Amino acid sequence: MAPDLIEERPEEYLKIIGLAAEHREDATTSYLAKRLGVSMPSITEMLHRLAAKGLVHYRPRDAVRLTADGQRVANSLIRRHRLWEGFLVQFLGFSWDEVHEEAGRLEHVTSPALEERLAEFLGDLASCPHGHTIPGRREEAGTTRPLSEFGSPGAARVARIQDETPDFLRRLDRLEIRPGCVMEVQDVSEEDGSVWVRVGGRLKEIAPDLATSVMVEKIENDESE
C-alpha cells in the first residue's frame, strides 16, 4: 500500500499497533515507520492526532498503546481483514501467500453489514488461513446481557439488538440507540422494568420491551480512560 494512502487512513495505524500488541511487540515510532513505510515525522504527526481523539496513549520514546476505543477500531479492521483472507482462500482459490494484500484493500471498503454477512457466510470462522484468531466471534457473546438485567448503575455499550423488526428498530432510532452506542445506566424500575439511561448527555427512558432486546456489555473503569 502506498504511503500516501496509509497517511489518509488513521485506522491502518491502529491496526498495526493492535497487531504489535497481539504479537507482543513494542509499537515504537520506529517500528510503525518500518511497518507502514512512512516517514518518522508523519508517524509522529498521526500519533498526536490519534491521541487527541482518544484512540492511543502516546508519549515520545515510549511504545504506543491503544485505548479501549482504539482497540475496538483495530479489532474491527483486523476482523475484516482475516474474514476476507478466509473467503479468498476458501472460495476464490487464492493460496495463503496471496491474500494479505488483497484483504488489506478490501478491509477498508467493507461496511459493518457486509462484514457480518461475510462472517455468517463463512460459518463463524475461527481463524484466518494463517492461524490468527478472528476477533469478535459469536462465542464471545457471553459477556453481553439484556439492558433490563444490567443491575447496578454503570457504563454500558450496546453490542447488538435481538429484535430486528422495522418498528422496533425505528423506536430505538428515536432514542438514538444503536450497536456501538455508549450509555450510562442510571436506574432499572422495579415496578415496570423500564430503564433510565443517559445517552449523549440526555436522560432517556427505555421501555421494558426494548430493554429486554437491547444486548449490552459492561464497560469497566479502565476502558473509559
Distance CA 147, CA 217 (A): 9
Write out pLDDT tens, residues 124-159. Answer: 788 888 877 889 754 444 577 889 988 778 999 887
Domain boundary among 33, 48, 66: 66
| Sequence letter at residue 38 | V
Largest CA distance in the chain: 61
Please indicate, yes or no, whether residues 220 and 146 belong to a single structural domain of this protein. Answer: yes
Please indicate, yes or no, whether residues 182 and 163 belong to a single structural domain of this protein. Answer: yes
CB neighbours of residue 100 within 10 Å: 15
Please indicate, yes or no, whether residues 150 and 213 belong to a single structural domain of this protein. Answer: yes
* pLDDT surpasses 80 at 123: yes
Please indicate, yes or no, whether residues 121 and 162 belong to a single structural domain of this protein. Answer: no
Q: What DSSP state is assigned to residue 133?
A: B
Q: How confident is the model at residue 163 (pLDDT cuts 50, 70, 90)?
A: confident
Tally of domains in the chain = 3
Please indicate, yes or no, whether residues 147 and 220 belong to a single structural domain of this protein. Answer: yes
* Residues paired with 127 in a beta bridge: 133
pLDDT of residue 137: 59
Domain boundary among 88, 105, 136: 136
Domain boundary among 90, 111, 136: 136
pLDDT of residue 64: 97
Please indicate, yes or no, whether residues 210 and 161 belong to a single structural domain of this protein. Answer: yes
Please indicate, yes or no, whether residues 24 and 58 belong to a single structural domain of this protein. Answer: yes
Please indicate, yes or no, whether residues 74 and 55 belong to a single structural domain of this protein. Answer: no
Please indicate, yes or no, whether residues 125 and 164 belong to a single structural domain of this protein. Answer: no
**Sequence-distant contacts of 194-200: CB under 8 A, at least 24 apart:** 195/147, 195/148, 195/150, 197/147, 197/156, 199/175, 200/176
Q: Is the pTM of this model over 0.75?
A: no
Please indicate, yes or no, whether residues 158 and 121 belong to a single structural domain of this protein. Answer: no
CATH number of the domain residue 212 falls in: 2.30.30.90
CATH number of the domain residue 56 falls in: 1.10.10.10
- Which range marks the domain in which residue 58 is found? 3-66
pLDDT of residue 127: 84
Among the ranges given (5-19, 48-62, 69-83, 133-147), the one the predictor scored with the smallest mean pLDDT: 133-147
Please indicate, yes or no, whether residues 62 and 94 belong to a single structural domain of this protein. Answer: no
